[in-house]
Amino acid sequence: MKNVLTHLSVTAVLLGMVAPAYSASISFRPTGSQIDSDPINDIVVQVGQQLTFTLSIDTTGLSNTLQSFTYLVTRDNTELLLDSATITPDADAFFDRTLISDIVTPPFTVGTVKLDNGIGLAPNSQLDFVTAIYTVQPGLVNDGVLDYQLEIISAFDNLGNDITSAFDPAVQEVEIQPSPEPASILSLLALGAFGVGSVYQKKQS
């Protein structure tokens, strides 16, 4: 069994190394992971906790410099409230950041932001362009619905070509949710009861 696991790990590493990124994309970290039965990725947090998202753009496969792009950030205000969103020092060298609009349609707010007016980003580059800090709100719930989403809606190169469709994936989303603590505590209690039972049986025998 151990050999099989080792073999699988090595295969996964090799696949990771040889699989190239074929296209431009927009993304954020942390990506979350799948910890329940609904299809959206999950991040476990606590009410009052600060959560920082780093937004990133990848120009792999583009023919020309990325001159400007516009993106949407959708967040569920009942679960996440924005403290600050700032352009990274690296991105500040390539673009200016402009908030175009922030539209509230409860429970969501959709912020539209444009990065342009700079030297732009060369093809085959990866750039962390914004750091956004949020505070987790009392409405925190595991309902399988997105709480944070990033989508690129417009992109142009330095020749004025619309290259929006070159970005794939163009959208990423995640849900935040509380720790599944009650279930864990029940499991621990069950284990504890089992442990006590075992000791009791030993003493008897």
- Residues that bind Ca ion in the complex, under the rule CB under 5 A: 36, 38, 40, 42, 147, 175, 177
Q: CB 12 → Ca ion: shortest distance, Å?
A: 22
Q: Which two tokens stand for residue 64?
A: 């020309």
Q: Give the residue with the Cβ less far from Ca ion, 85 or 141.
A: 141
Q: Give the residue with the Cβ less far from Ca ion, 51 or 55.
A: 51
Q: Give the residue with the Cβ less far from Ca ion, 47 or 99.
A: 47
SS in 3 state form for 119-169? Answer: CCECCCCEEEEEEEEEEECCCCCCCCCCCEEEEEEEEEECCCCECHHHECC
Q: Give the residue with the Cβ less far from Ca ion, 62 or 150.
A: 150
Q: CB 141 → Ca ion: shortest distance, Å?
A: 5
Q: CB 180 → Ca ion: shortest distance, Å?
A: 11
Q: Give the residue with the Cβ less far from Ca ion, 75 or 97.
A: 75
- C-beta of residue 149 within 8 angstroms of C-beta of residue 130: no
- C-beta of residue 36 within 8 angstroms of C-beta of residue 142: yes
SS3 205: coil
- C-beta of residue 48 within 8 angstroms of C-beta of residue 88: no
Q: CB 139 → Ca ion: shortest distance, Å?
A: 8
Q: Who contacts 123 (Cβ-Cβ below 8 Å, separation ≥6)?
A: 59, 60, 61, 62, 63, 64, 65, 66
Q: CB 77 → Ca ion: shortest distance, Å?
A: 12
